[in-house]
A and B are shown apart, each in its own frame.
Chain A
Amino acid sequence: QKEVEQNSGPLSVPEGAIASLNCTYSDRVSQSFFWYRQYSGKSPELIMSIYSNGDKEDGRFTAQLNKASQYVSLLIRDSQPSDSATYLCAALRSFAGGTSYGKLTFGQGTILTVHP
Protein backbone atom coordinates (compact mmCIF):
# COMPACT_ATOMS: atom_id res chain seq x y z
CA GLN A 1 0.00 0.00 0.00
CA LYS A 2 1.34 3.42 -0.94
CA GLU A 3 1.88 5.74 2.01
CA VAL A 4 0.04 8.58 0.29
CA GLU A 5 -2.29 7.81 -2.56
CA GLN A 6 -4.14 10.27 -4.78
CA ASN A 7 -7.10 9.72 -7.05
CA SER A 8 -5.87 8.65 -10.42
CA GLY A 9 -6.10 11.27 -13.07
CA PRO A 10 -6.00 13.01 -15.26
CA LEU A 11 -8.96 15.08 -14.14
CA SER A 12 -10.62 17.37 -16.63
CA VAL A 13 -13.20 19.98 -15.64
CA PRO A 14 -14.80 22.89 -17.52
CA GLU A 15 -13.95 26.45 -16.59
CA GLY A 16 -16.04 27.65 -13.67
CA ALA A 17 -16.70 24.16 -12.30
CA ILE A 18 -15.53 22.69 -9.00
CA ALA A 19 -12.47 20.45 -9.18
CA SER A 20 -12.25 17.80 -6.47
CA LEU A 21 -8.92 16.19 -5.64
CA ASN A 22 -8.66 13.35 -3.15
CA CYS A 23 -5.89 11.77 -1.14
CA THR A 24 -5.62 8.97 1.41
CA TYR A 25 -2.72 8.21 3.69
CA SER A 26 -1.71 5.07 5.54
CA ASP A 27 0.42 6.36 8.42
CA ARG A 28 -1.87 7.32 11.33
CA VAL A 29 1.01 9.19 12.97
CA SER A 30 0.96 11.80 10.20
CA GLN A 31 -0.20 15.07 11.66
CA SER A 32 0.12 17.74 9.00
CA PHE A 33 -1.05 17.68 5.42
CA PHE A 34 -0.24 19.85 2.45
CA TRP A 35 -1.37 20.47 -1.08
CA TYR A 36 1.20 21.60 -3.60
CA ARG A 37 0.62 22.75 -7.16
CA GLN A 38 3.28 22.01 -9.76
CA TYR A 39 3.21 23.49 -13.22
CA SER A 40 5.10 21.63 -15.92
CA GLY A 41 8.83 22.26 -15.62
CA LYS A 42 8.44 24.20 -12.38
CA SER A 43 8.89 23.46 -8.70
CA PRO A 44 6.09 22.49 -6.29
CA GLU A 45 4.31 25.51 -4.85
CA LEU A 46 2.49 25.25 -1.53
CA ILE A 47 -1.17 26.23 -1.83
CA MET A 48 -2.82 24.80 1.30
CA SER A 49 -1.88 23.24 4.60
CA ILE A 50 -4.24 21.62 7.11
CA TYR A 51 -3.60 20.15 10.54
CA SER A 52 -7.01 19.72 12.19
CA ASN A 53 -10.09 17.78 11.23
CA GLY A 54 -12.60 19.77 9.23
CA ASP A 55 -12.44 22.33 6.48
CA LYS A 56 -10.00 25.12 5.81
CA GLU A 57 -10.81 27.72 3.20
CA ASP A 58 -8.46 30.10 1.40
CA GLY A 59 -9.97 31.99 -1.50
CA ARG A 60 -11.17 29.50 -4.11
CA PHE A 61 -9.44 26.61 -2.35
CA THR A 62 -10.89 24.45 0.43
CA ALA A 63 -8.92 21.68 2.09
CA GLN A 64 -10.73 19.00 4.06
CA LEU A 65 -9.18 16.60 6.56
CA ASN A 66 -10.71 13.53 8.17
CA LYS A 67 -8.13 11.82 10.36
CA ALA A 68 -10.46 8.96 11.31
CA SER A 69 -10.82 8.06 7.64
CA GLN A 70 -7.23 9.08 6.86
CA TYR A 71 -8.52 11.23 4.04
CA VAL A 72 -7.55 14.64 2.71
CA SER A 73 -9.18 16.52 -0.13
CA LEU A 74 -8.83 19.77 -2.02
CA LEU A 75 -11.72 21.55 -3.68
CA ILE A 76 -11.07 24.26 -6.22
CA ARG A 77 -14.13 26.43 -6.86
CA ASP A 78 -14.65 28.43 -10.04
CA SER A 79 -11.81 26.56 -11.74
CA GLN A 80 -9.73 28.58 -14.17
CA PRO A 81 -7.49 27.43 -17.03
CA SER A 82 -4.57 28.75 -14.96
CA ASP A 83 -5.37 26.07 -12.36
CA SER A 84 -4.28 23.41 -14.86
CA ALA A 85 -1.33 21.71 -13.21
CA THR A 86 -0.30 18.64 -11.25
CA TYR A 87 -1.55 18.69 -7.66
CA LEU A 88 0.54 16.90 -5.06
CA CYS A 89 -0.81 15.77 -1.71
CA ALA A 90 1.76 15.36 1.07
CA ALA A 91 1.67 14.04 4.63
CA LEU A 92 4.16 15.05 7.30
CA ARG A 93 5.22 12.61 9.95
CA SER A 94 7.09 14.31 12.75
CA PHE A 95 9.68 12.65 14.89
CA ALA A 96 12.51 13.42 17.25
CA GLY A 97 10.92 14.80 20.37
CA GLY A 98 7.78 16.37 19.03
CA THR A 99 9.41 18.84 16.73
CA SER A 100 7.88 19.33 13.35
CA TYR A 101 10.80 18.52 11.19
CA GLY A 102 10.09 15.12 9.84
CA LYS A 103 9.44 13.18 6.74
CA LEU A 104 7.18 14.66 4.09
CA THR A 105 5.74 11.91 1.92
CA PHE A 106 4.13 12.82 -1.39
CA GLY A 107 1.44 11.16 -3.40
CA GLN A 108 1.94 10.44 -7.06
CA GLY A 109 0.09 13.60 -8.09
CA THR A 110 -3.13 14.26 -9.99
CA ILE A 111 -3.02 16.12 -13.28
CA LEU A 112 -5.83 18.66 -13.50
CA THR A 113 -6.88 20.24 -16.78
CA VAL A 114 -9.40 23.07 -16.81
CA HIS A 115 -10.76 23.62 -20.29
CA PRO A 116 -12.39 26.86 -21.44
Chain B
Amino acid sequence: DTAVSQTPKYLVTQMGNDKSIKCEQNLGHDTMYWYKQDSKKFLKIMFSYNNKELIINETVPNRFSPKSPDKAHLNLHINSLELGDSAVYFCASSHVTPPSAEQFFGPGTRLTVL
Protein backbone atom coordinates (compact mmCIF):
# COMPACT_ATOMS: atom_id res chain seq x y z
CA ASP B 1 0.00 0.00 0.00
CA THR B 2 2.89 2.32 -0.87
CA ALA B 3 1.67 5.87 -1.47
CA VAL B 4 4.39 7.19 -3.82
CA SER B 5 6.76 4.66 -5.31
CA GLN B 6 9.81 5.06 -7.50
CA THR B 7 11.94 2.66 -9.50
CA PRO B 8 14.76 2.00 -9.46
CA LYS B 9 16.00 2.82 -5.96
CA TYR B 10 19.61 2.89 -7.10
CA LEU B 11 20.99 3.65 -10.54
CA VAL B 12 24.69 3.49 -11.39
CA THR B 13 25.66 4.30 -14.94
CA GLN B 14 28.40 5.68 -17.16
CA MET B 15 28.66 9.21 -18.48
CA GLY B 16 26.86 9.67 -21.76
CA ASN B 17 24.24 6.99 -21.16
CA ASP B 18 20.48 7.57 -21.18
CA LYS B 19 18.38 6.44 -18.23
CA SER B 20 14.81 6.66 -16.94
CA ILE B 21 13.25 6.82 -13.49
CA LYS B 22 9.62 5.89 -12.96
CA CYS B 23 7.19 7.21 -10.38
CA GLU B 24 3.68 6.13 -9.44
CA GLN B 25 1.28 7.40 -6.80
CA ASN B 26 -1.89 5.74 -5.52
CA LEU B 27 -3.10 8.68 -3.41
CA GLY B 28 -5.52 9.98 -6.03
CA HIS B 29 -3.51 13.21 -6.34
CA ASP B 30 -3.59 15.12 -9.59
CA THR B 31 -0.27 16.93 -9.27
CA MET B 32 3.15 15.30 -9.35
CA TYR B 33 6.67 16.66 -9.02
CA TRP B 34 10.32 15.82 -9.55
CA TYR B 35 12.92 17.14 -7.12
CA LYS B 36 16.70 16.86 -7.10
CA GLN B 37 18.63 16.66 -3.83
CA ASP B 38 22.32 17.33 -4.21
CA SER B 39 25.23 16.18 -2.08
CA LYS B 40 24.66 19.09 0.33
CA LYS B 41 21.11 17.86 0.87
CA PHE B 42 19.57 20.89 -0.84
CA LEU B 43 16.19 19.91 -2.30
CA LYS B 44 15.13 21.75 -5.45
CA ILE B 45 12.08 21.43 -7.68
CA MET B 46 12.69 20.43 -11.28
CA PHE B 47 9.26 19.80 -12.81
CA SER B 48 5.61 19.65 -11.89
CA TYR B 49 2.67 18.15 -13.75
CA ASN B 50 -0.99 18.75 -13.04
CA ASN B 51 -3.30 16.20 -14.61
CA LYS B 52 -0.71 15.35 -17.28
CA GLU B 53 0.02 19.01 -18.07
CA LEU B 54 3.44 20.54 -17.38
CA ILE B 55 3.03 23.49 -14.98
CA ILE B 56 6.50 24.00 -13.54
CA ASN B 57 9.69 23.71 -15.52
CA GLU B 58 12.63 25.12 -13.63
CA THR B 59 15.92 25.92 -15.35
CA VAL B 60 16.77 22.31 -15.94
CA PRO B 61 18.96 21.19 -18.88
CA ASN B 62 16.85 19.93 -21.75
CA ARG B 63 18.61 16.58 -21.36
CA PHE B 64 15.95 16.03 -18.69
CA SER B 65 12.53 15.23 -20.08
CA PRO B 66 9.56 14.40 -17.87
CA LYS B 67 6.62 12.47 -19.19
CA SER B 68 3.23 11.91 -17.58
CA PRO B 69 1.16 9.19 -19.29
CA ASP B 70 -1.65 9.69 -16.76
CA LYS B 71 -2.13 11.58 -13.53
CA ALA B 72 -0.88 8.69 -11.41
CA HIS B 73 2.47 8.39 -13.19
CA LEU B 74 5.35 10.76 -13.81
CA ASN B 75 8.55 9.48 -15.37
CA LEU B 76 11.88 11.23 -15.81
CA HIS B 77 14.15 10.48 -18.73
CA ILE B 78 17.72 11.76 -18.74
CA ASN B 79 19.83 11.83 -21.89
CA SER B 80 23.61 12.01 -22.13
CA LEU B 81 24.20 11.71 -18.40
CA GLU B 82 26.91 13.89 -16.87
CA LEU B 83 28.86 13.59 -13.63
CA GLY B 84 26.95 16.55 -12.20
CA ASP B 85 23.67 14.66 -12.56
CA SER B 86 24.68 12.44 -9.65
CA ALA B 87 22.13 13.12 -6.92
CA VAL B 88 19.03 11.71 -5.29
CA TYR B 89 15.88 12.29 -7.31
CA PHE B 90 12.58 12.41 -5.47
CA CYS B 91 9.12 12.17 -6.91
CA ALA B 92 6.25 13.76 -4.96
CA SER B 93 2.52 14.26 -5.34
CA SER B 94 -0.20 16.45 -3.91
CA HIS B 95 -3.82 17.47 -4.20
CA VAL B 96 -4.73 20.84 -5.59
CA THR B 97 -6.74 22.18 -2.68
CA PRO B 98 -6.27 25.72 -1.35
CA PRO B 99 -4.47 26.58 0.84
CA SER B 100 -2.79 23.31 1.68
CA ALA B 101 -1.52 20.98 -1.06
CA GLU B 102 0.87 19.09 1.18
CA GLN B 103 3.33 17.17 -0.91
CA PHE B 104 4.17 13.55 -0.20
CA PHE B 105 7.49 12.16 -1.32
CA GLY B 106 8.57 8.86 -2.79
CA PRO B 107 11.57 6.94 -1.42
CA GLY B 108 14.02 8.50 -3.86
CA THR B 109 16.32 7.23 -6.60
CA ARG B 110 20.04 7.58 -5.96
CA LEU B 111 21.71 8.20 -9.31
CA THR B 112 25.46 7.81 -9.57
CA VAL B 113 27.15 8.76 -12.83
CA LEU B 114 30.69 7.38 -13.25
| Chain A residue at minimal CB-CB distance from B58 | A103
Residues in A with CB closer than 8 Å to B40 are 108
Q: How many residues on the A side are at the interface (Cβ–Cβ under 8 A)?
A: 28
Q: Count of A-B contacts with CB under 8 A?
A: 69
Give the distance to chain B from A80, nearest Cβ to Cβ, in Å: 22
Q: Give the A-binding residues of B (Cβ under 8 A).
A: 31, 33, 40-45, 48, 50, 55-56, 90, 94-108
Instruction: In the A-B complex, list the 5 residue pairs whose CB atoms are closest, starting with the nearest.
Output: A100-B101, A43-B105, A106-B43, A100-B98, A101-B31
In the complex, the answer to whether A103 meets B45 with C-beta atoms within 8 Å is yes
Q: In the complex, what distance in Å separates the CA atom of A68 from the CA atom of B105?
A: 30
In the complex, the answer to whether B99 meets A51 with C-beta atoms within 8 Å is yes
Which A99-116 residues sit within 8 Å CB-CB of chain B? 99-106, 108-109
Q: Give 18 pairs: A residue, B residue, CB < 8 Å, sorted on A.
A: A43-B90, A43-B105, A46-B104, A51-B99, A51-B100, A86-B41, A94-B98, A94-B101, A100-B94, A100-B95, A101-B94, A103-B45, A103-B48, A103-B56, A108-B40, A108-B42, A109-B41, A109-B42
Residues in B with CB closer than 8 Å to A103 are 45, 48, 56
In the complex, the answer to whether B44 meets A98 with C-beta atoms within 8 Å is no
Q: Give the B-binding residues of A (Cβ under 8 A).
A: 31-32, 34, 36, 38, 42-46, 49, 51, 86, 88, 92, 94, 96, 98-106, 108-109
Contact of B45 among A31, A46, A105 (CB under 8 A): A105
Q: In the complex, what distance in Å separates the CA atom of A43 from the CA atom of B104?
A: 9
Given A96-B55, A101-B50, A105-B45, also A32-B100 (CB < 8 A):
yes
